[in-house]
Amino acid sequence: MEQTLARRAWTLFEPVHAIVFFAPEATEIYKAAGLRGGWMGYFASRSAAMGAVGAEVVTAVFHNFRPAMVARAIPDAWTFSSPERALEARRAVADSALRRLWADDVASADVTEAAALALEVVAGLHGDGRPLFAAHAGLAVPAAPHLALWHACGLLREHRFDGHVAALTVNGIGGLDALVIASATGSGMDADTMQHLRGWTGEECENAARGLRERGILDSDNLLTEQGRSLKDSVEATTDALATDVWEATDEAKRERLFSLLRRLAVRLEAPDGIRYPNPIGVPRPA
């Protein structure tokens, strides 16, 4: 994909927030909050900003997980814990992971400056049609600079993600369809791993692939056709377009300063016990 302004930004802010998805300390921290298992911790902590919502809501807004996988964690999570405890645990995961990987720099001038600049960008975002972003935008900004930056990057992340789901939906691409299409590109993680991580069965994936072949999106080898590549490129371009305005409206000097700071910080998160590439999110290394 062309390295648009919005796509460049994504490669920089996504790792900072997404560290909570990869940090090994997450399991024990979520367990201490009453959440049973890593996936319950993930589903509960990411959806907690919306309140004690049901599995149907989480499945819809997260988009590409098998409904039965979500239902094994939600709503049971709210009997073992609460949205408030899940949010607190998630912040604790971020705090622990960033302190481990950034060490004393969590309180550095660079992190403090990056947090201020990112929050300034976030103030220009709007929540119309973006449920995950809007829910998280209602949370208080943490006082610690490294957590304020993590929070701001999370808002940028969920704003973009909500736009991506909209781009998929308007093109008639459901969650499983999106997973199969992503696997067909041959980049990122392999199809079997992604199928396992999202809870789908082999039969369900094959049925989805059959439907995409019938639509002319996949060929007989389950690779993207010209029509399929055009569709995928269109979805990605729409995702970028829906995330572009706020970056174009930001003063160029401030934007480039933020990008420079984020890049320096994001590259330090790549580690066996940090962000790994390729990854299930699909984000590439910082641009």
Tokens of 57: 């809501």
Confidence tier at 7 by pLDDT (50, 70, 90): very high
pLDDT above 80 (res 179): yes
Dihedral sign of CA atoms 91, 116, 134, 11 in order: negative
Q: Compute CA 193 distance to the chain's CA centroid, rounded to the nearest angstrom.
A: 18
The 10s digit of each residue's pLDDT in 95-111 is 999 999 999 999 999 99
Residues in contact with 87: Cβ distance below 8 Å, sequence separation at least 6, in sequence order? 45, 48, 49, 139
Helices (H) and strands (E) in the chain, counts: 15, 0
Query: Which of 41, 114, 128 minimizes the C-alpha distance to 80?
Result: 41
Confidence tier at 83 by pLDDT (50, 70, 90): very high
**Mean pLDDT taken over the chain:** 96
Dihedral sign of CA atoms 112, 117, 121, 123 in order: positive
Task: Work out the average pLDDT over 259-279.
Answer: 97
The DSSP secondary structure of 51-64, one letter per residue, reads -S--HHHHHHHH-S
Question: Is the bond leading into 278 cis (omega within 30 degrees of zero)?
Answer: yes
Q: Kindly state the DSSP code that residue 140 receives in the 8-state scheme.
A: P
Task: Work out the average pLDDT over 78-94.
Answer: 98
Residue for token pair 């997980």: 65
Instruction: Give the chain's largest Cα–Cα span.
Output: 55
- Residue 218 pairs with which residues in a beta bridge? 224
User: What are the Cα distances from residue 215, in Å, to 8, 171, 218, 219?
Assistant: 32, 12, 8, 10
Confidence tier at 188 by pLDDT (50, 70, 90): confident
Please tell me the pTM assigned to this model: 0.97
